[in-house]
C-alpha cells in the first residue's frame, strides 16, 4: 500500500433489524489512524453499513485515492454492481421499485465522484484486524447511545 492511499475499514451493527444501530470506521494514512463512530436509535444494519462508508469519505479533507474494506456485500455489491443500473433507471430496481436507502446511496454516489475508491470485501468476524476494530467501534457506539456497558456476546 503506497503512502498516498487512504485505507478505510468500515462496519455497521444493529441490535435487532430494525433496532438501535451503530457504525464504525477506521482510517489509516501515512502511519496515522483516525477512528469514527456513531449511532441511531432506530435503523437497520444496511443503513449503518452505508453510513460508515459515507462518514469515512466525508472525513477526507481533499480528493483522495482510497481502498475501502468492508464486510458488507450489500455495500460492496451495491457500489460496484447495482448503483450504475439504479441511476440509469431513475433510482429504481429491476422490478421498478424505489431503491431502498436511496438517500444514503445518493450521498455515497456524490462522494464517489470526489474520490477514487477501490472496494474490497472481507468476511466479517473472521479475525481481520481492521474489520474487527470497525465492528468494535460500531458496537461501542450502540452501547454508548443506550447508556450501558458493552454487551458480552452480542453480534454486530
Q: Is residue 151 part of a domain?
A: no
Is 154 a member of any domain? no
pLDDT in tens, the chain (156 residues): 455 899 999 999 999 999 999 999 999 999 999 999 999 999 999 999 999 999 999 999 999 999 999 999 999 999 999 999 999 999 999 999 999 999 999 999 999 999 999 999 998 878 889 999 999 999 999 999 999 876 555 444
Are the C-beta atoms of 86 and 93 separated by less than 8 Å? yes
Cell numbers for 97: 421499485
4 is in an annotated binding site: no
pLDDT in tens, 77-121: 999 999 999 999 999 999 999 999 999 999 999 999 999 999 999
Question: Would you say 11 is a known binding-site residue?
Answer: yes
The answer to the question of whether 103 is labelled as a binding residue is no
CATH code of 67's domain:
3.30.420.10
**Closest to 76 in 3D by CA, of 4, 5, 2, 9:** 9
* pTM of the complete model beyond 0.85: yes
Which residues are annotated as catalytic? Answer: 11-12, 49, 71, 125, 135
Do β-strands 5-14 and 19-29 pair in parallel, antiparallel, or remain unpaired?
antiparallel
Phi, psi of 147 (to 5 degrees): 65, 40
Taking a C-beta distance cutoff of 8 angstroms, is the pair 14, 132 a contact?
no
Amino acid at each position: 500500500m503506497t503512502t498516498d492511499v487512504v485505507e478505510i475499514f468500515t462496519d455497521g451493527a444493529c441490535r435487532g433489524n430494525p433496532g438501535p444501530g451503530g457504525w464504525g470506521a477506521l482510517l489509516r494514512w501515512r502511519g496515522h489512524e483516525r477512528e469514527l463512530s456513531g449511532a441511531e436509535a432506530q435503523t437497520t444494519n444496511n443503513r449503518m453499513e452505508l453510513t460508515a462508508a459515507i462518514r469515512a469519505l466525508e472525513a477526507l479533507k481533499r480528493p483522495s485515492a482510497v481502498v475501502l474494506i468492508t464486510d458488507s456485500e450489500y455495500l460492496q455489491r451495491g457500489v460496484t454492481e447495482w448503483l450504475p443500473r439504479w441511476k440509469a433507471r431513475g433510482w429504481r430496481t429491476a422490478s421498478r421499485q424505489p431503491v431502498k436507502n436511496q438517500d444514503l446511496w445518493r450521498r455515497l454516489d456524490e462522494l464517489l465522484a470526489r474520490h477514487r475508491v477501490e472496494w474490497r470485501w472481507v468476511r466479517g468476524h473472521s479475525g481481520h484486524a481492521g474489520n474487527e476494530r470497525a465492528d468494535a467501534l460500531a458496537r461501542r457506539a450502540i452501547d454508548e447511545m443506550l447508556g450501558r456497558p458493552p454487551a458480552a456476546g452480542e453480534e454486530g
